[in-house]
């Protein structure tokens, strides 16, 4: 066993293949070319940072609106969950109230609703009289016959409140469901990329079951002995093309202005020039990546039954890709979203007319103004949350997912796998690993 392992190392050294994972090495080994995967460059887009940009000089487009969505791509760790459950979370969240991207997005709408409240308040004081700071009442400043106080009873608003609540609940639940479905699609990608590379690595060059039962008839020609360099190349292709699929899927679901340059750079850095050119120029890049991955799997020396099992993962990738495209191209029915927005806007715009009398006990009814602003922030905020969640991909940490998938696949295919270990040695190693320390 040690002689076989030493011989394999000597072969790798002879063809100039490094032991590490930090460079492209292309050597001629007839009839194939050995290409070693590179280490993936770090990407600032996979940073697990949440909140507005730390740079105080960042443009306003990075603080609010579409530019702020990249700062919502969070991945939690154990420390993050500890902070999330902190008893101080209420105080901490109130402390960042004015940094909230949600509130900044609805600021103009809230200002308009509050302006309506200010107008109602000021007009009613002008035509109905007002009280000065000493508590003395004064006559109206406008005494024309046409000048009347404006207001509405509160009953219509209380009657419509349950209906508005149902609309907002359905809107937010549907939007969260879309986000959750997108996250599950990427969860399936993560799970089945690992599964695919695990099976390819473990089954490489083997056509029998673990108990020695042959898949083929005795007359069938057995597979040739494993060539370690060829094995490393073929499994490396499976790993790289698995990463290329998820990276292409991420680019497919991201805005071109944000991700196109990074995508081209990363694909050219990891794939061969011909592979990279074919994938970049493809009309549907994820489909091209899946095709190349299918070809790489077909080249693996193993029984077709096992190849079929591996290819089953590719069908799941097609499902996650198609489901993601459905979410991206099909929003919540627009007539529902528009009706909810109109209903909410009209309800809040006319609300100040009904709040003037209920706040008669405050000085000149003035509390109706901050009350209107507070109610507007709460209700417009709920609708804004639903709108932000409705398209989930630009707030999912997809670059982080791709980096993790690539690292996991590279690690899996680096394991020695079938045909490179004697069963007795494997069993002995397992026994020693499970034995209690002495």
**DSSP code, position 366:** T
Lowest mean pLDDT among 49-63, 84-98, 223-237, 281-295: 49-63
pLDDT for 366 equals 95
Q: Provide the 3-class DSSP secondary structure of residue 214.
A: strand
Average pLDDT over residues 404-411: 94
Please enumerate in sequence order all residues whose Cβ is within 8 A of that of 370, keeping only pairs 6 or more positions apart, or say none.
none
pLDDT-derived band at 96 (thresholds 50, 70, 90) equals: confident
pLDDT for 136 equals 87
Model confidence at 331: pLDDT above 80: yes
Q: Are 289 and 248 in contact (CB under 8 A)?
A: yes
Return the exposure string of 323-355: e unless at least 16 CB atoms fall within 10 Å of the residue's CB, then b: ebeebbeeebeeeebeebbebbbebbbebbbbb
Q: How far apart are CA 303 and CA 207, in angstroms?
A: 5
Average pLDDT over residues 28-39: 40
pTM summary value: 0.78
Please enumerate in sequence order all residues whose Cβ is within 8 A of that of 323, keeping only pairs 6 or more positions apart, or say none.
181, 185
Q: Are 41 and 262 in contact (CB under 8 A)?
A: no
Average pLDDT over residues 23-52: 40
How far CA 404 is from CA of 38, 323, 363, in Å, comes to 15, 22, 60
Please enumerate in sequence order all residues whose Cβ is within 8 A of that of 430, keeping only pairs 6 or more positions apart, or say none.
none
Q: Which helix (H) or strand (E) holds 182?
A: helix 155-203
Q: Are 192 and 317 in contact (CB under 8 A)?
A: yes
Is the dihedral angle over the CA atoms 246, 248, 251, 253 positive or is it negative? negative
Token representation of residue 169: 């609940």
Backbone angles phi, psi at 288, to 5 degrees: -65, -40
**DSSP code, position 360:** T
Q: How far apart are CA 217 and CA 234, in angstroms?
A: 26
Q: Are 248 and 285 in contact (CB under 8 A)?
A: yes
pLDDT tens digits for range 6-15: 444 343 443 3
How far CA 298 is from CA of 208, 239, 412, in Å, comes to 18, 14, 19
Closest CA to 102 of 378, 323, 315, 402: 378
Model confidence at 222: pLDDT above 70: no
Average pLDDT over residues 304-317: 93
Give the residue carrying structure tokens 């809230």. Answer: 110
Selected residue with higher pLDDT from 263 and 429 = 263
pLDDT-derived band at 47 (thresholds 50, 70, 90) equals: very low
For a pLDDT cut of 70, what percent of the chain falls above it? 76
pLDDT for 342 equals 97
| Per-chain mean pLDDT for the chain | 82
Is the dihedral angle over the CA atoms 331, 186, 38, 289 positive or is it negative? negative
Model confidence at 247: pLDDT above 60: yes
pLDDT for 55 equals 59
Token representation of residue 200: 């390819």
Bridge partners, 138 (sequence order): 130
Q: How far apart are CA 50 and CA 52, in angstroms?
A: 7
Backbone angles phi, psi at 95, to 5 degrees: -65, -25
């Amino acid at each position: 066993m040690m002689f076989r392992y030493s011989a394999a190392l000597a072969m790798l050294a002879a063809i100039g293949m490094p032991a590490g994972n930090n460079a492209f090495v292309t050597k001629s080994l007839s009839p194939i070319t050995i290409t070693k995967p590179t280490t993936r460059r770090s990407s600032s887009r996979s940073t697990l940072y949440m909140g507005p940009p730390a740079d105080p000089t960042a443009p306003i487009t990075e603080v609010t609106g579409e530019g702020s969505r990249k700062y919502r791509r969070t991945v939690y760790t154990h420390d993050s969950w500890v902070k999330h459950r902190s008893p101080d979370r209420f105080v901490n969240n109130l402390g960042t109230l004015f940094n909230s991207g949600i509130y900044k997005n609805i600021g103009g709408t809230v200002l308009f609703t509050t302006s309506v409240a200010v107008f109602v308040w000021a007009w009613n004081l002008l035509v109905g009289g007002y009280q000065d700071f000493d508590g003395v009442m004064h006559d109206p400043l406008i005494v024309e016959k046409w000048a009347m106080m404006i207001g509405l009873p509160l009953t219509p608003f209380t009657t419509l409140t349950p209906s508005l609540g149902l609309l907002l609940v359905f809107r937010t639940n549907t939007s969260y469901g879309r986000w959750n479905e997108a996250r599950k699609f990427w969860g399936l990608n993560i799970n089945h990329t690992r599964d695919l590379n695990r099976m390819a690595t473990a089954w490489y060059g083997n056509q029998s079951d673990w108990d020695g039962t042959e898949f083929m008839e005795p007359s069938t020609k057995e597979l040739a002995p494993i060539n370690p360099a060829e094995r490393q190349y073929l499994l490396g292709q499976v790993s790289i093309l698995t990463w290329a699929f998820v990276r292409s899927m991420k680019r497919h679901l991201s805005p071109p202005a944000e991700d196109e340059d990074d995508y081209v750079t990363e694909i050219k850095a990891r794939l061969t020039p011909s592979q990279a050119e074919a994938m970049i120029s493809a009309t549907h890049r994820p489909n091209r990546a899946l095709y190349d991955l299918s070809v790489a799997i077909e080249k693996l020396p193993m029984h077709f039954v096992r190849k079929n099992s591996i290819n089953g993962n590719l069908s799941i990738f097609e499902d996650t890709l198609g489901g993601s495209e459905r979410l991206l191209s099909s929003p919540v029915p627009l007539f529902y979203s528009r009706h909810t927005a109109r209903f909410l806007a009209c309800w809040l715009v006319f609300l100040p007319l009904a709040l003037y009398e209920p706040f008669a006990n405050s000085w000149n009814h003035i509390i109706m103004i901050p009350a209107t602003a507070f109610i507007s922030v709460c209700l417009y905020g709920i609708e804004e949350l639903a709108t932000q969640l409705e398209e989930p991909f630009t707030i999912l940490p997809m670059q982080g997912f791709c980096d993790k998938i690539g690292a996991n696949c590279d690690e899996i295919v680096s394991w020695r796998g079938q045909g490179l270990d004697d069963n007795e040695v494997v069993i002995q190693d397992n026994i020693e690993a499970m034995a209690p320390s002495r």
